[in-house]
Structure 1
Amino acid sequence: MLLQIFSFVLDIVFGLLTSICLLRLYMQIERVPFGNPVGRLVFAFSDWLVLPLRRVVPAARRWDPSCLVAALLLQAVQYLLLWLLMAGSVPMAWVAWMAVFSVLRVALSAMMGLLIVYAVLSWVQTRSPIADVITRLAEPLLRPLRRIIPIIGGIDLSVLVALVLLQVAMMVLGQLQMGMP
């Protein structure tokens, strides 16, 4: 039970930090300004790790791979701690594979959360800086689906379809992870 509790706490702490690093990367790719409350929060929680990595990992056009490296490092540390707790009962390569799968899982979960917040905000028609950031981040995910799925009765079903597709991707990822040696 103690291992479960420790694993849960690690998953929360490292998952949040990983999602913030991935959000920073996504905001850079989508050219969302960081002068809003979301951007300031992202900088506050990720600068300590991303800025030193920039000295080692060079930027590539519109995106900063040091954010992705930071996310992978955070997940590697999480699974290294778990590996140490399990007294090395699994091969060390497990740490690297779990880190990669976990970054993908965090990214998919973050996209699902973003789309749920976007849908809720679209119902209440709020005009705030956070709503604008959420919209700018969600629109690129929904744009390809909106080309295919028509608006039915004045209702945009693209968010629902995107959530279903993301959930299917999570299932596939889980099966791949379970099939891993």
Structure 2
Amino acid sequence: MGDDYLTNPLVFLVQFLFEAYILVVLLRFFLQLTRSDFYNPLSQFIVRITSPVLIPLRRVIPGMGGMDIAALALAWALKALELLIVTALSGAGLQLLLAILGAIPGLVELCINIFLYAIIIQAILSWVNPGTYNPAASLLDSFTAPVLRPVQRFIPPVGGLDLSPMVAILGLILLKMLLIPPLQQMVVALLS
């Protein structure tokens, strides 16, 4: 058995744990930004698992313009720490500047993916059991509204079918394809 026998599962575990918590922190940031229902059970879960870290951090990093800057800073720091640990486990050593700068494209991609998957899940939920109350559907509706409403203004429903999620998904995928590679190349160029 080679060195990768234990390294690969360990790297996977580190990435999974960090990405899961970063996802929850970013969800909290976006739920506050979109003014989603704070009393929704899913919102309460997100608040409970992020507050122990965010409340003390907010004393040092205050919000600005209705944005929770502490949540963004925490997500960035966690992503950088994840990259540091993964590169160290992979045998590349500790590369602090790479981790700090490399976290940016990863976070931007995760932010786009959050909205992409939220819209997909919302569309599926609307087909499965339309017209019934579901805490997840209610939260997704308020969460995705800032992305879907502008599209809905230009593309009204056709025969009762709302095509705006499909257009928004296409737009988010294109945004990811056009934004992430230049960001990654910029990080590589800065480190060269």
Asked whether the two chains share a fold, i.e. TM above 0.5, the reply is yes
Q: Is the 8 A contact 1:21 1:46 kept in 2?
A: yes
Equivalent runs, 1:12-23 vs 2, <5 Å = 12-23=16-27
Q: 1 CA distance for matches of 2:184 and 2:40?
A: 40
Q: For 1:119-138, list aligned pairs within 5 A.
A: 119-123=123-127, 124-125=129-130, 126-138=132-144
Give the superposition deviation at 1:10: 2.5
SS in 2 for 1:78: helix
Q: 2:149 aligns with which of 143, 147, 154?
A: 143
* Aligned match for 1:83, one of 87, 99, 111: 87
Contact 1:145 1:162 in 2 (8 A): yes
How far does the alpha carbon of each residue in 1:67-113 deviate from its partner, in whole angstroms, 9 at most, with x for none? 11111111011011012224445853211122111111111111111
Structure 1 residues 160 and 3: alpha-carbon distance in aligned structure 2, compared to 1, 3 A threshold? farther
Aligned equivalents of 1:178, 1:145: Cα separation in 2? 28
Where structure 2 has 5 or more consecutive residues not aligned to the other structure, the ranges are: none
Q: Cα RMSD between the aligned structures?
A: 1.9
Task: Return the offset for 1:13.
Answer: 1.6
Q: CA deviation at 1:173?
A: 3.7
Distance 1:106 1:79 in 2: 14
1:111 matched to 2:115? The reply is: yes
Q: Which runs of 5+ in 1 are unaligned?
A: none
Residue correspondence of structure 1 range 32-181 to structure 2 within 5 A? 32-88=36-92, 91-123=95-127, 124-125=129-130, 126-179=132-185, 180-181=187-188
- Partner Cα separation in structure 2 for residue 84 and residue 100 of structure 1: 19
How many residues align? The count is 181
Structure 1 counterpart of 2:75, one-letter code: A
Q: Percent identity, aligned pairs only?
A: 28
Q: Give the TM-score normalised by the residue count of structure 1.
A: 0.89
Say whether the 8 Å CA contact 2:84–2:99 is kept in structure 1.
Answer: yes
Of residues 7-16 and 34-43 in structure 1, the stretch that sits farther from structure 2 once superposed is 7-16
Contact 1:15/1:106 (CA < 8 Å) preserved in 2?
Answer: no
Q: 2:79·2:103 contact (CA, 8 Å) conserved in 1?
A: yes
Distance 1:110 1:81, change over 3 A: same
- Please give the per-residue CA displacement for 1:156-177, whole angstroms capped at 9, x wherever unaligned: 1110111111112222344225
TM-score normalised per structure 2:
0.85
* Match of residue 7, structure 1, among 11, 28, 31: 11
